[in-house]
Structures are given as C-alpha cells and as structure tokens.
Amino acid sequence: MAGPGQSVGLRAQRPTGQVRNGPIVTCGLSYNGCMAQPPSTLPPRDTVQLQHWMARLLRRAHRVGERGEIPVAAVLLDQRGRCVGWGSNRRERHNDPLGHAELQALQQGARLLGDWRFNACTLVVTLEPCPMCAGALVQARVGRVVFGAADPKRGALGGCLDLANHSSAHHHMEVMGGVLAQQASEQLSDWFRRRRGQS
C-alpha cells in the first residue's frame, strides 16, 4: 500500500473495474495500492483534457444507447486527471432504478480509492445530472462536476433546480456545463427520435 507522499503504481490493463486477487483495475489503469489519504485540492481546469474525456464518453454513450439504454456515460477523475471510475446508464439492462451513470462511477471510485469522499475529484458526464445523481454528488463531496448537455426539465445543477448551491447543501461543488454541448445534445435528441419512431 502506498504511504503518504508516495505515488501509486499504475500499469495498463484491460478496463474491468473489478478486484481480482490483486490490484484494483479500472479505466484501463491498475492501482497496485490504495491512496492512503486523497488529495484535498482540485487541479486547475484543463479544457482540452475535459473535451478529450467528454469525446470518449460520447463514444461510450453511443454504445450504451445501442443496447436500449438512454445514452449517458460518466467518468470520475482524480487530482492528476486519471480515471478512477467509469459509469453508464444500465437501468433497463439490470432493472436497477439506481442504474445511472454518475452513481456507477462514484461506486467504482469509492471501491478503488477506499474512500467515499471525492473533494479533489472531477466527475465528467454527458448529461446534466438529475436530482438523484446531483444529490449523490453533493453527499460524496465531489469537487467539480463537468457536464455536456444541459437538461432544463430534469437537470439539478442549474436546469430545473440547483442542488450545488441550495441552502441545504453542506458541500458546494464547482459546476461547469456546456463541454461539447452540441454533440451531447444531438446524441440524446437522435436517440429519443429513433425510440419514438420504433413505438
């Protein structure tokens, strides 16, 4: 296990997000140990990096949509910009009412880091989080949330309400919307259009 001030060893692996008698593997990287104490400060915004991750998420969301799920995908990044959790919608496939992309990424990140607090982490997601997910992000103390498409009907980080700045919030996240917004919005619109055409 890495101690304070020591780096966590990484090596390329197939992304599984599961523990298999050894290092924890997720997002194509493997942690040979756990972070003894997560960093407490967010890194500066890196727009190029965020666009890179959003583009990857949109490709992943497209594959999810082909399986009949609403095409939403998320990634949780640590302070160095490394993926510590992936997620995509899986409510239909698993009959799971909590099967939203953001919750999957948080659960995977908590298992990987051995902590439920993500003060120095950034969650990137293709669609503005709903009230359930936005509440979970506040509870998990996520430092920054970045989303692509805004959701004026159901979005809870500035759409129909803003839980990040609500008087009940004990933790205030930095929120950044609109990263590759047009591509993200078009992907969702196209998916819903096809679904309506099939019914």
Which residues belong to the active site?
A: 102
| Nearest Cα residue to 149 out of 95, 192, 120, 116 | 192
Name the 3-class secondary structure at 191.
helix
- Which of these, 103, 155, 105, 165, lies nearest to 131 by C-alpha position? 155
Q: What are phi and psi of 110, to 5 degrees?
A: -65, -40
In order, the DSSP letters of 21-90 are: SSSEEETTEEESS--SS---SPPPP-HHHHHHHHHHHHHHHHHHHHTTS---EEEEE-TTS-EEEEEE--
179 Cβ neighbours under 8 A, 6+ residues apart: 47, 50, 51, 54, 124, 146, 147, 148
Q: CA-CA distance, 42 to 195, in Å (whole number)? A: 39
